[in-house]
Amino acid sequence: MAVEATLSSTGTKPEKSFFDRLMGTKRRRDTIEGYIFILPVVLGLLIFTIGPMLASFYISFTKYPILRSPEWIGLRNYVNMFTKEPNFWQACKVTLLYAVTAVPLGIAGAFMLALLLNQRVKGMSFFRTSFYIPTIVPAVASAVLWGWLLNPDYGLINAMLKTVGLPTSRFLGEPDSALASLVLMSLWSVGGGMVIYLAGLQGIPETFYEAAKIDGANGRQLFRFITVPLMTPTLFFGLVMGLIGAFQYFTEAFILTQGGPLFSTYFYSLMVYERAFRFTQMGMGTAMAWFLLVVVLTLTLLVFRSSPLWVFYETEVK
């Protein structure tokens, strides 16, 4: 607790006058104190995020099989990645497909659940807690569990489909259905988004609805013109976090499909991992990771840029 010691010593130690002089004006004092407060965070950021990123930027221009030292090869990793890697575009396609299905479905599902819960339901906190549980089950456990549920031969889901006379599916075992199965799996944890949307819904002042009703608005209009606009900041948050999560999707696919069958679940992160740690092509893996970073940052920027068009901040009416 170096920080505490430094700060609390200022009042009593004989160095007080010196310290005061060092600190100088309140502004300067604020600056120094501010730096002390953020020091651990900045150190962490430098060592564990920025440092590795700079290093990886260099590595991405090298040929680097873990055991030998990196050898500079210029842009070859990037060129090969776009032109020669047979599964690169497949990985992009799979990841994008997952992002554009799982994220909107997840948001819609979570929002609908939140709307349901936001009515005067009894046992609201009980429901809320139950729905949230899947999001805290460790990813490994939920992946294995869903592997069983979706098993074509003895899985619960096929057993239930059979009972009600619906056609069964091979789910993760067929190229046509594997990715969709992972999307389905992801919906199990909509509870995470739901609690946030529910909080957002509960934060909408009742007076807004009262006022609108006096003006003769019906239920649909209330939803369309009050609930939705006031929820957009929260939905926006869900969208951004959802996209980031989708582009980094790894564990479930790693455990359940390893990218198969026929690369139908070959997520970008799986490819990066495979290059770097299975094929020991650290240079290529890192180049791929950098491309992903650029894409994610660009996309996020676009989403932020688009936000004035559809995200509505409460302050605008207050």
Partner 1 sequence: MSTNSFDKAASSRGQSGVAVWLRRYEILPHAALAVVMFVVLLPILWLISSSLKDAQQFYNHPSELLPRAISLVNYQYMFTAIQQLPVYMTNSFILAFGVTAIQVLCAALAGYAFARMTFRGRDIIFLMIVISMFVPRGGGLMALYELMNFLKLRNSLFGMILLFGSHLPVPIFIMRQAFLSIPKEIEESAMIDGASRWQIFWRIALPLATSAMVIVATLAFVGVWSDFLVTFTMIDRDSQLTISVGIRKVLTSGYETATANVPELRGQFASEAADAAMLLFSAFPVVLIYALLQRWFMKGITEGAIKF
Partner 2 sequence: MSVESRTVSRRSFLRLAAAAGGMAALAACAAPAPPSSSSASDGEAAAGPEPIELRVSILQGAPVQPVNEFLSEATTAKNPNVTAKFEFISGDLAELVYAQAAAGTLADVFFSADLYAVPFAKNDVSLDLKAMAEGDPDVDLEDVFPAMLGLGTVDGEIHFLPSGLDVVTMYYNKTLFEQAGAELPTDTWTWDDLITNTKLITEMEQDENGNPKYWGLSNATWNWWATVYPWIVGYGGLILENDQSTWSSPKTVEGLQAYADLWAKHNVAQPLGLDVGGDSFQLGRAAVYTHIQALRTPIRDNVGDKFEWDIQLMPVMPDGKHRTGMGTWGMSAYSGSKHPELAYQYVKNIITPDVQTKMTKAEIVVPLLRSIAEQSAWMDGLATPPENFMAFVNGADDAILPVMDHPADCGSFYVGVVQQSYQAALEAVIRGTKGAEEAFTEADATIQSCLNDNA
Within 186-215, the residues that bind partner 1 by CB under 8 A are 188, 191, 195-196, 198-204, 206, 209, 213
Residue of 38, 55, 66, 112 interacting with partner 2 (CB under 8 A): 66
Work out what residue 75 binds among partner 1, partner 2, none; the CB cut-off runs from 5 to 8 Å by kind: none
Identify which range of 116-124, 170-178, 285-293, 295-303 contacts partner 2 by CB under 8 A. Answer: 170-178
Q: Does 151 bind partner 2 (CB under 8 A)?
A: yes
Q: What is the DSSP string of the chain?
A: -HHHHHHHHTTTSTTHHHHHHHH-SHHHHHHHHHHHHHHHHHHHHIIIIIHHHHHHHHHTTEE--TTSPPEE-TTHHHHHHHHT-TTHHHHHHHHHHHHHHHHHHHHHHHHHHHHHHTSS-TTHHHHHHHHHHHHHS-HHHHHHHHHHHT-TTT-HHHHHHHHTTPPP--GGGSHHHHHHHHHHHHGGGTHHHHHHHHHHHHTS-HHHHHHHHHTT--HHHHIIIIIHHHHHHHHHHHHHHHHHHHHT--HHHHHHTTT-STTTT--HHHHHHIIIIIS--HHHHHHHHHHHHHHHHHHHHHHHHHHHHH---GGGT-
Q: Does 263 bind partner 1 (CB under 8 A)?
A: no
In whole angstroms, the minimum distance from the beta carbon of 237 to partner 1 comes to 5
Comparing CB distances to partner 1, the nearer of 18 and 277 is 277
Could you give the C-alpha distances from 221 to 110, 145, 216, in angstroms and in order? 21, 42, 9
- Within residues 247-266, the interface with partner 2 by CB under 8 A covers 260-263
Q: Does 278 bind partner 2 (CB under 8 A)?
A: yes
Comparing CB distances to partner 2, the nearer of 177 and 234 is 177
Query: Residue with structure tokens 């019906």?
Result: 218
Comparing CB distances to partner 1, the nearer of 41 and 309 is 41
In whole angstroms, the minimum distance from the beta carbon of 67 to partner 2 comes to 5
- Within residues 74-133, the interface with partner 2 by CB under 8 A covers 80, 84, 86-87
In whole angstroms, the minimum distance from the beta carbon of 150 to partner 2 comes to 10
Identify which range of 72-80, 85-93, 245-253, 256-264 contacts partner 1 by CB under 8 A. Answer: 245-253
Which residue from 115, 8, 77, 102 is spatially nearest to 282, judged by alpha carbons? Answer: 77
Work out what residue 226 binds among partner 2, partner 1, none; the CB cut-off runs from 5 to 8 Å by kind: partner 1
Comparing CB distances to partner 2, the nearer of 174 and 314 is 174
User: How many degrees, rounded to 5, is the angle at CA 108 between CA 96 and CA 201?
Assistant: 135
* Amino acid found at 80: N
Q: Does 233 bind partner 1 (CB under 8 A)?
A: yes
In whole angstroms, the minimum distance from the beta carbon of 316 to partner 1 comes to 15
- Within residues 96-155, the interface with partner 1 by CB under 8 A covers 113, 115-122, 124-125, 127-142, 144-146, 148-149, 154
In whole angstroms, the minimum distance from the beta carbon of 249 to partner 1 comes to 9
Contacts (Cβ under 8 Å, ≥6 apart) of 133: 191
Total residues at interface with partner 1 (CB under 8 A)? 115
In whole angstroms, the minimum distance from the beta carbon of 148 to partner 2 comes to 8
Contacts with partner 2 by CB under 8 A lie at: 63, 65-67, 80, 84, 86-87, 148, 151-154, 162, 167-168, 170, 172-175, 260-263, 274, 278-281
